[in-house]
Amino acid sequence: MRRKLAAGNWKMNGMQASLAELARLAQAHRDSAVEILICPPATLLQAATAYAPLTVGAQDCHMNASGAHTGDLSAAQIRDAGGRAVIVGHSERRADHHESSQMVRAKARAAQAEGLTAIVCMGESAAQREAQNTLDIIGGQLAGSIPDTATGENLVVAYEPIWAIGTGRVPTLAQIGEVHDFIRARLERRFGAGVGRSVRILYGGSVKPDNAAGIFTVSNVDGALVGGASLTAAAFSPIISALDAV
Ligand code: PEP
């Protein structure tokens, strides 16, 4: 059984006052069967660990364990601050920081070596979807970004079509299902049925309270990676409840 996961990516948003949102979420979902993971900015990571049952992750890590990398965080530092997971390969980092799948794979490996769960993101652009290249793109990102060290505990895959992130545009349920089934088949082919079936696959891209329930009915959708709607308990809570109800 794969435990459902609702992960919030706060991106470069959130101040100390935002921790009040975590208190509300923790109170509302204290008996939830869903794993609730918050990935706040690094400035709030340690403080965010005080809100059990919520777990906390980072939004990126460096591929090296330590050294002269100004502004970066290592997986060991994330772990030391109380983090349990880290997002790697988000499309904003692939674009803004020119991160290749090879770099993402090294980051995921570094995270797993420190006992963190790597949430490896991938997704096609609008032009790639229009050209009907979605599965080729996802297949290439899967092969390139996921290290051989993957297990059901240390890997989560997040399918996030770039054109759906922050836009309010969402693929059809059939389109989401096609990609998630494809990812599952590729994971099983590469890692065997045991590991391949135990890795959780999240959908991300404009998940909101009014579309979450439908998305969570799709096969091989084990939860969501949520950006904008994870910033307030008022918006994130109904998404978590919808996942809990599946
Ligand atoms: C994201 O950036 O991971 C994301 C899914 O953002 P949003 O939910 O705001 O589209």
Residue nearest atom 6 of ligand 1, based on CA coordinates: 227
> Would you say 162 and 203 are in contact if contact means Cβ atoms under 8 Å apart?
no
The pLDDT of residue 49 is 98
CATH of the domain at 42: 3.20.20.70
CB of residue 76 inside a 6 A radius of ligand 1:
no
**195 CA distance to ligand 1 centroid (A)?**
27
Number of structural domains in the chain: 1
Residue nearest atom 8 of ligand 1, based on CA coordinates: 227
76 CB-near residues (< 8 Å, 6+ apart): 65, 66, 114
Q: Which two tokens stand for residue 158?
A: 């997040």
pLDDT tens, position by position, 199-228: 999 999 999 999 999 999 999 999 999 999
Can you tell me the distance from the alpha carbon of 73 to that of 188, in angstroms, rounded to the nearest whole number? 32
Q: Is the alpha carbon torsion for 56, 50, 69, 114 positive or negative?
A: negative
Domain around 176 = 5-244
> Is 98 a residue of the active site?
no
Residue nearest atom 3 of ligand 1, based on CA coordinates: 227
The residue ranges of the chain whose pLDDT is under 70 are: none
Residue 193: C-alpha distances to residues 62, 119, 198, 211 (Å) = 30, 20, 8, 31
Which contacts of 97-100 are long-range, i.e. CB under 8 A and separated by 24 or more positions? 100/144
The pLDDT of residue 1 is 84
Task: Enter the pTM of the model.
Answer: 0.97
Residue nearest atom 4 of ligand 1, based on CA coordinates: 227
123 CB-near residues (< 8 Å, 6+ apart): 91, 137, 138, 141, 159, 160, 161, 162, 164, 165, 204, 205
Looking at the CA of residue 224, tell me the nearest atom of ligand 1. Answer: 5
CB of residue 10 inside a 6 A radius of ligand 1:
no
What is residue 204's three-state secondary structure? strand
90, 92, 99, 124: the catalytic one is: 90
